[in-house]
A and B are shown apart, each in its own frame.
Chain A
Amino acid sequence: MFKDTFDKLCWLFLIVVLISTVVLIYTNIGTGSEKRAAGPSKTLERELSYRARVDLINQLYLPVENLRKEGNNQTALLKLDELIRKYPTEAHGHILQGDILQRMGAFDEAISSYVEGVKLNGDYVDTKSPLSRRAEIQKLVDGGLKDVGPRVAANPNNRSLVIARQKLNYLKSRLAGGCE
């Protein structure tokens, strides 16, 4: 076992490695727990990331919001088109588009846009969310069902009206707390 210098060196190296491993493991356990104690909690991390996302969304869509507020709905829609193509899975663009289309009198397309947005992100029907558009969506659904209901009754075979009512009912169910 310890016949020559090479054997002795091998054993010495092995012992050094073992001691280093034990020391490393011990120190890591110590610093890990300290880190957990000092660093932000998971909930806080989530909250920070959510707020950062909301801020980014507001910043990205600010030019569109401004155009809409000024009443330049068509220009806002053209600008928004660029953003929706750039961020197709971002719900905010669809919600904003729904709002603008509704103001322009394109009711069916507005409903479709809101449905698309709410499907992508349920925060828009959540009262507590800073992104909430619950009041607007509720108004659209109430007015829409009042308008579409009698039209469907008068034209029961009209597929487009039936689809419009289905979409309104979907929004209604999401407002009532239903899941996707």
Chain B
Amino acid sequence: MKIYHLMRMFIALVVFFAIAGCKTEGKRQVVKIGYMLCNSEQETSQRFLPLTKYLSDKVGVDFVMVPVDTHDFEKRFKAGEFTFTHTNSLIYIVLRENQGVQLLASEKRGKLGSRSAGAIIARKGSGIEKLADIRGKRMAFGPMLAPTGYLAEYDMMLAAGINPENDLGHYTIPPGSYKHEKLIYGVLYGMYDVAAAPVMDLENMTRDGKIAADDLVILAQSKPIPYCTFGVAKDVDPGLVKKVKDALLSLKPTDTAMIDGEQLKVMKAAWIDGYEELLDSDYDQIRDMAKRVNMPPYQKY
């Protein structure tokens, strides 16, 4: 009889632990993060999938990555396709002004940390030595919604009394992906006379040995402004928001995430140096630029 009782208890315990040990991930809350595409969907996914998995592990909800084209970002956010946002700083301002998105954390990458700057470059020895020399020249800009590849440079030109619409020979935006690299190479190999280049790309290309620091002349450079930014919809549970913020701010170079059976370093995969807690007022410089350049969200027709 005693043995019978012990056996029943043993079976009950086995069943209990088996249930308790079951993976509950499938039942966890699912939250979507919209990631603005940088160069391609594949590249963005490769970079940010480990970060998304890291956040799931840390926060205890199932985060799902949603790659989003820059021009569709606001529309898709408004349609409720995702709750958290990872965008450049100009798109963050658009979402903040129009949709009430809250600032979560700012991405650190490169020498300027959570900031980057825009530069107007020319090839060394081309005879273009100062900003005034670019009148009548062929210029290439980065994507139109790029804060340091378009907005900052356009603003610097207006401040110097150069109207890009009237005072250049012509200007263009390189087609396809990797626009920033294309225009830097374009200047180096003579396709364009001058270009609007983010200093982060100049830094990366120099580090990778693609260009040398002496190859180019920097004709003008903006003040450093915030760059990639995590935001969150205004009506999200504050407890969840705090957990995500804490997870981002505590991210270390040694943190890993399991992707397809492989442990990947999160920061290395995402090409980032961590996250910082900026204030929304730190983005005011970009707001002022957008107003001067007549760009969203302040555009007037």
A94 to chain B, nearest CB (A): 12
Q: Is the interface of A mostly helix, strand, loop or mixed?
A: helix
**In the complex, what residue of chain B is closest to A113 when comparing beta carbons?**
B111
A160 to chain B, nearest CB (A): 4
Which among B112, B202, B221 is the interface contact of A101 at CB below 8 angstroms? Answer: B112
Answer yes or no: A159 CB below 8 A from chain B CBs: yes
Does the CB pair B112–A160 fall under 8 Å?
no
Distance between Cα atoms of A63 and B164 in the complex (Å): 34
Does the CB pair A74–B221 fall under 8 Å?
yes
Which among A79, A81, A109 is the interface contact of B112 at CB below 8 angstroms? Answer: A109
Does the CB pair A160–B224 fall under 8 Å?
no
Identify which of residues 51-95 in chain A touch chain B, using a CB-to-CB cut-off of 8 Å: 72-75, 77-79, 81-82, 85
A156 to chain B, nearest CB (A): 12
Interface size on A, as a range, is 20 to 34
A-B contact number at CB 8 A: 60
Does the CB pair B119–A158 fall under 8 Å?
no
Distance between Cα atoms of A168 and B132 in the complex (Å): 40
**In the complex, what residue of chain B is closest to A76 when comparing beta carbons?**
B213
Which among A82, A85, A104, A158 is the interface contact of B277 at CB below 8 angstroms? Answer: A158
Chain B residue contacts of A105, Cβ below 8 A? 223-224
Q: Assuming A159-B249, A160-B276, A161-B277, is B111 touching A101 (CB within 8 A)?
A: yes
B124 to chain A, nearest CB (A): 10
Most B C-beta atoms less than 10 A away, residue of A78, A79, A81: A78
Answer yes or no: A106 CB below 8 A from chain B CBs: yes
- 6 A-B pairs, CB-CB below 8 angstroms? A74-B117, A74-B199, A77-B111, A81-B207, A104-B221, A109-B111
